């Protein structure tokens, strides 16, 4: 699934597809293709939301993305649920 942006005014505005869970310090970029979370392959946005919902506030997760043809892994801290 591709990162298109965040909700205006959210903690991750412009940074990612899950603005209510990922803190503003995340390093997702528009057009990143999310591949996996903590090694588990994600095929749909529902897979991503379900994986995030199973983790508590403050948990650090590793998200693998394809960016400009290269795979990279990003560590991110989960924000509180709204």
Residues of the chain below pLDDT 70: 1-2, 4-26, 81-82
Instruction: Give the count of domains, the chain.
Output: 1
Strand partners, 76: 61
| CATH number (domain holding residue 34) | 2.30.42.10
Boundaries of domain holding 42: 1-82
pTM of the model: 0.69
Q: How far is C-alpha 75 from the chain's CA centre?
A: 9
Residue among 59, 56, 54, 27 at smallest CA distance from 42: 54
- What distance separates the 2 farthest-apart alpha carbons in the chain? 34
Q: How far apart are CA 14 and CA 16, in angstroms?
A: 6
Q: How far apart are CA 68 and CA 82, in angstroms?
A: 32
pLDDT attached to residue 45: 86
């Amino acid at each position: 699934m591709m990162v298109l942006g965040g909700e205006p005014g959210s903690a991750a505005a412009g940074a990612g597809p899950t603005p209510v869970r990922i803190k503003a310090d995340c390093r997702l970029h528009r057009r990143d293709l999310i591949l996996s979370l903590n090694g588990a392959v994600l095929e749909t946005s529902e897979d991503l939301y379900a994986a995030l919902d199973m983790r508590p506030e403050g948990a650090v997760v590793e998200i693998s993305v394809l960016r400009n043809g290269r795979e990279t892994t990003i560590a991110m801290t989960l924000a509180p649920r709204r």
